[in-house]
């Protein structure tokens, strides 16, 4: 493997993560709806990292086509990210089984009963997220193979605690016995080196890959990233306590204000008893899916949702995914060599 000679220190610290993923480098791509599709996923896997298809709101048929198309572009391992609240999650798991997907990432909440078992039954590995150590341990006991801890600096749906604090809490408690990846706000290799030294087996990045040359995101979406600073990536505000909305980090624009208005509208429907809570929350999720598509695919950077993490200030130009990965590895190696 090239990396053993080029990046020996980083490679040694990533060894467990890379072996688990079946990749050269233990660098996962965060699943970004509309962005993490066949082209970017294949480019990241071909570049030595681990691409992950963002299933998002896809139907089983759409996921079926996406996995097949990704396989046409790479023979390297890649994963599929499934949202735990998707109404067709068990059908989506069947699609993953049909294609022999090696790793399934379950995101967006506690996995529904039987889902982990259904994935393990066809030999795939299960990667989960957890906001607390207690839940992480429970998920490991339930069969999860690896954990991603993701701090609030990340783009898209986020939790309330920063990556640096989560790493200090989770890694000493879990890293010896379990595979833990760190995500949220990682933009350079020096940060990767630090988390690896703390016991992480690898990292996950989304924002750095969103503007890769192979990303199908609209040129105007990418330009918005290049212009932005860390402080422009803001977290959404929850308007009504009865409508618990997972905050979303995106670049501030008219769309972020429109989301606040959308929440007020749905809260009013709740007030008048004209909508059930589950339907209210689904309306919010559908809103996000549409707003994100408007920005990524249509290039409407005023009204769409430009989901981005705080590391957006480190994204200055388009680069091939393989070069982004090589740059991160070189920075990590240089940092470890200085120790």
Q: What is the DSSP string of 242-296?
A: TS-PPPEEEE-SHHHHHHHHHHHHHHHHHHTT-S-HHHHHHHHHHHHHHHHHHHH
pTM (predicted TM-score): 0.95
CA distances from 115 to 90, 121, 304 (A): 7, 10, 33
Q: What is the pLDDT of residues 279-329, one digit of tens each?
A: 887 788 788 889 999 999 999 999 999 999 999 999 999 999 999 999 999
Which residues lie closer than 8 Å to 271 by C-beta, 6 or more apart?
none
279 or 2, which is more confident:
279
* Of 171, 169, 149, 151, nearest in space to 160 by CA: 151
Q: Does residue 210 surpass a pLDDT of 60?
A: yes
| Average pLDDT of the residues of the chain | 95
Residue 3: pLDDT band (50, 70, 90) is low
pLDDT of residue 289: 82
Q: Does residue 184 surpass a pLDDT of 60?
A: yes
* pLDDT, mean of residues 158-187: 97
Q: What is the pLDDT of residues 75-122, one digit of tens each?
A: 999 999 999 989 999 999 999 999 999 999 999 889 999 999 999 999
What structural domains does the chain harbor? 2-217+314-337 (3.20.20.70), 219-310 (no CATH)
Proportion of the chain above pLDDT 90, given as a percent: 82
């Amino acid at each position: 493997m090239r990396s053993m000679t080029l990046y020996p220190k980083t490679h040694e610290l990533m060894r467990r993560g890379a072996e688990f993923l079946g990749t050269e480098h233990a660098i996962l791509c965060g699943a970004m709806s509309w962005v993490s599709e066949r082209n970017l996923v294949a480019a990241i896997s071909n570049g030595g990292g681990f691409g992950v298809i963002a299933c998002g709101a896809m139907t089983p048929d759409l996921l079926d086509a996406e996995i097949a198309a990704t396989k046409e572009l790479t023979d390297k391992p890649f994963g599929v990210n499934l949202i735990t609240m998707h109404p067709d999650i068990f059908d989506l798991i069947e699609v993953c089984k049909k294609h022999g997907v090696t790793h399934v990432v379950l995101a967006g909440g506690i996995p529904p009963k039987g889902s982990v078992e259904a994935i393990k039954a066809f030999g795939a590995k299960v990667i989960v997220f957890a906001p607390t150590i207690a839940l992480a341990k429970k998920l490991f006991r339930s069969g999860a193979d690896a954990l991603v801890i993701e701090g609030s600096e990340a783009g898209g749906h986020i939790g309330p605690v920063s990556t640096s604090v989560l790493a200090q809490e989770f890694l000493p408690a879990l890293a010896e016995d379990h595979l833990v990846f760190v995500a949220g706000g990682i933009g350079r290799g020096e940060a990767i080196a630090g988390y690896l030294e703390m016991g992480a087996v690898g990292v996950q990045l989304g924002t750095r890959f969103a503007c890769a040359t192979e990303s199908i995101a609209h040129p105007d979406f990418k330009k918005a990233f290049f212009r932005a600073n860390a402080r422009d990536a803001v977290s959404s505000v929850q308007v009504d306590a009865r409508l618990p909305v997972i905050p979303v980090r995106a670049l501030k624009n008219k769309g972020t204000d429109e989301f606040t208005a959308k929440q007020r509208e749905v809260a009013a429907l709740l007030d008048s008893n004209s909508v059930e809570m589950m339907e209210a929350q689904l309306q919010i999720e559908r809103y996000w899916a549409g707003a994100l598509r408007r920005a990524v695919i249509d290039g409407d950077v005023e009204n769409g949702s430009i989901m981005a993490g705080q590391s957006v200030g480190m994204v200055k130009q388009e680069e091939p995914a393989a070069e982004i990965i090589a740059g991160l590895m070189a920075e990590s190696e240089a940092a470890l060599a200085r120790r």
